[in-house]
Amino acid sequence: MNEAAKEDGFSTKSRDRGSMSRFSDKLKAAIQRTHGCLCVGLDVDLEKMPRALPKDGEGILRFCRSIIEATRDLAAAYKPNMAFFESLGAQGFEVMELLRQSVPHDALFVMDAKRGDIGNTSQAYARAYFHLLKSDAITLSPYMGKDSIEPFLDYPGTCSFVLCLTSNPSSADFQLQELKGGEKLYERVAKEAVGWGQGKKGEVGLVVGATQSQYLKDLRKWVPDTPFLVPGVGTQGGDLEGVLKEGRSKDGYGILVNVSRQVLYASQENDFADAAREQAKKLVDGMKPYFS
C-alpha cells in the first residue's frame, strides 16, 4: 500500500480497551446512534467489484473505504470476512490493518474469521484479532469446546460470536440433530457457550441465521441477554421484521443484522457508493420502528 492510502482523513483514534465498556454497552450505543442494528458485511469478491476499480488490494481498500464513508451514519458495525483478504496473500493483512483504521470510532468492527482451536493457537488468533487489529468482536467455531474459546474471552470490551444456528442450507446436517434426551445440538451449543462467558472479561455472543427465524424466538428465551449476530437478511432471503421482532435482547437491543451483497454490490458502476447508501438506508428505515 502506498502512503496516500494511509492518510486520507479517516479516523485513526486510539482503541485502547483499558477504559472500554462492555461490548453490549457499545452495541447499544451504536444502535442508538444509527436507530438501527445494521452490520455491513465487507465480503469483497474481486469479480463483483465496480468495474472502474483495480482488482487488487488497492482496489479493495478504495472500495471498502468508499462503502464505509457512504454508510458511516447508518451502520452500527462493519464485518469484513477475513477469507477474502487472506486470498490476497501477504498484502491482505496490510489491507485489513488500513481498513481497520478507516472504520469510525463509534462503529463496531466485527471480524468474520470463524476461528476455533486450542491452547496457544487460540491465544495467537486472539492476539492477532483483538490486540493487533483491535477488533470489537470475532466469529468463532465451538466444535473443539470450551478451551478453544476461552483465550478470546481475556480481552475486555470484546465479544466472541459463537456459531450456533447458521443460515446456510446444510446447517441442519449437524446443528438440528437431536441429542439423547431430545435437546438439539444448537440448543446445547447456545447454553454451553453462554456459560463459558460467565465471569470473563469478554462476552460470548451467538451467530444465528436469519433464515432460521422459526427457532429464533425459543433461542432468545433461553439466552435473553446474549448478543446475537444475524446474517442471512437480503440476498439469502431472511425476514428482517421477524428477526427484529424475535431476536432483540431483553433490553430491546443486543442484535446486529448483517447484510453484505445487497449493500456492497448494489451497483458495479461509478455510483456504487451512492447505491450502497440507498440500500443501507432502506434497511435502517425498516429497523427504526424497533429502536425508536
Catalytic residues: 114
Contact 256, 230 (CB under 8 A): yes
Structural contact between residues 34 and 76, judged by C-beta atoms closer than 8 angstroms: yes
| 169 phi, psi to nearest 5 deg | -60, -35
* CA proximity to 56, closest of 132, 5, 115: 5
Query: Cβ of 1: how many Cβ atoms within 10 Å?
Result: 13
CA atoms in the 13 A half-sphere facing the CB of 27:
28
3-state DSSP helix/strand/coil percent for the chain, to nearest 5? Answer: 50, 15, 35
Grid cell of 73 as nine digits: 451514519
290: phi then psi, degrees, rounded to nearest 5: -90, -10
Q: How many angstroms separate the CA atoms of 123 and 119, rounded?
A: 7
| Inter-residue contact 229 to 209 (CB < 8 Å) | no
Q: Which three cell numbers stand for residue 250?
A: 431483553
Rounded-to-integer distance, Cα 189 and Cα 222, Å: 12
